Structure 1
Amino acid sequence: MPALKVLQLTDLHILPHAGDRMLGIDTEQYFQQTLAHAHATLGPFDLILLTGDLGQDPSADSYRRICRHLQTYQTPCLCLPGNHDDWKLMQTELNVDFVSCRKHVLLKNWQIIALNSQKPGCPSGFLSPEELIFLRQTLSTHDMPALLAVHHHCIASGSSWMDTMQIENGEALLAILEQFPQVKAITCGHLHQEMQTSHRQIAIYATPASCFQFKPFAAEFELDTLAPGYRIFELGDDGDLRSRCYHLPISMSGLQTNQHSY
Structure 2
Amino acid sequence: MAWFSDAFHFDKTALKVAHITDCHLSKDIHGEYFSVNTAAYFSRCLEAIAELDVDCVVFGGDLTQDHSTESYQLFAKLIADSALSCPLFWLPGNHDELAEYEKLISPQILNNKRITFLGGQLLLANSKGPTPAGWVTNTHLDELSQAVGQVPSVVFCHHNPLPIQAYLDKHMLENGPQFLNTCVNTEQCVGVFHGHVHHEYTQNYRNLSVYATPASSIQFTKHTMAWQQEDLGPAFRIIDLIIDEQQNLLLTTDVVWLKE
Under a length normalisation based on structure 2, what TM-score does the superposition of the two structures give? Answer: 0.88
Residue number in structure 1 paired with 2:223 = 217
Give, in whole Å, the separation in 1 of the partners of 2:259 and 2:182. 40
Residue number in structure 2 paired with 1:108 = 118
**Residues 101-129 of structure 1: CA deviation (Å, up to 9, x unaligned):** 32211123221111111113x21100012
**Residues 21-46 of structure 1: CA deviation (Å, up to 9, x unaligned):** 22222101100011112333xx1111
Residue number in structure 1 paired with 2:159 = 152
CA contact (8 A) 2:232 2:259 kept: no
Residue number in structure 1 paired with 2:212 = 206
The answer to whether 1:178 aligns with 2:200 is no
The aligned amino acid for 1:246 is V
The aligned amino acid for 2:210 is I
Residue number in structure 2 paired with 1:67 = 76
CA contact (8 A) 1:229 1:248 kept: yes
Give, in whole Å, the separation in 1 of the partners of 2:111 and 2:65. 18
Return the offset for 1:70. Answer: 2.5
Q: State which of 100, 107, 114 in structure 2 corresponds to 1:89.
A: 100
CA contact (8 A) 1:70 1:77 kept: no
Pair 126,132 (structure 1): closer, same or farther in 2 beyond 3 Å: same
Percent of matched pairs sharing the same residue: 28
Residue number in structure 2 paired with 1:192 = 198
Give, in whole Å, the separation in 2 of the partners of 1:28 and 1:123. 23
Residue number in structure 1 paired with 2:175 = 169
Q: State which of 129, 145, 151 in structure 2 corresponds to 1:119.
A: 129
Q: Tell me, which stretches of 5 or more residues in structure 1 are unaligned? A: 251-262
CA contact (8 A) 1:208 1:230 kept: yes
CA contact (8 A) 2:34 2:229 kept: no
Return the offset for 1:174. Answer: 1.7
Return the offset for 1:177. Answer: 1.5
Give, in whole Å, the separation in 1 of the partners of 2:37 and 2:231. 16
| Helix, strand or coil at the partner of 1:96 | coil
| Helix, strand or coil at the partner of 2:162 | coil
CA contact (8 A) 1:11 1:192 kept: yes
Q: State which of 237, 241, 247 in structure 1 corresponds to 2:243.
A: 237
CA contact (8 A) 1:57 1:85 kept: no
Under a length normalisation based on structure 1, what TM-score does the superposition of the two structures give? Answer: 0.88
The count of residues paired between Structure 1 and Structure 2 equals: 242
Residue number in structure 1 paired with 2:22 = 11
**Residues 146-181 of structure 1: CA deviation (Å, up to 9, x unaligned):** 11110001011121x211111101111122112212
The aligned amino acid for 2:109 is V
CA contact (8 A) 2:60 2:195 kept: yes
CA contact (8 A) 2:23 2:38 kept: yes
Residue number in structure 1 paired with 2:50 = 39
| Aligned-residue RMSD, C-alpha | 1.5
Give, in whole Å, the separation in 2 of the partners of 1:100 and 1:220. 37
CA contact (8 A) 2:41 2:233 kept: no
The answer to whether 1:58 aligns with 2:67 is yes
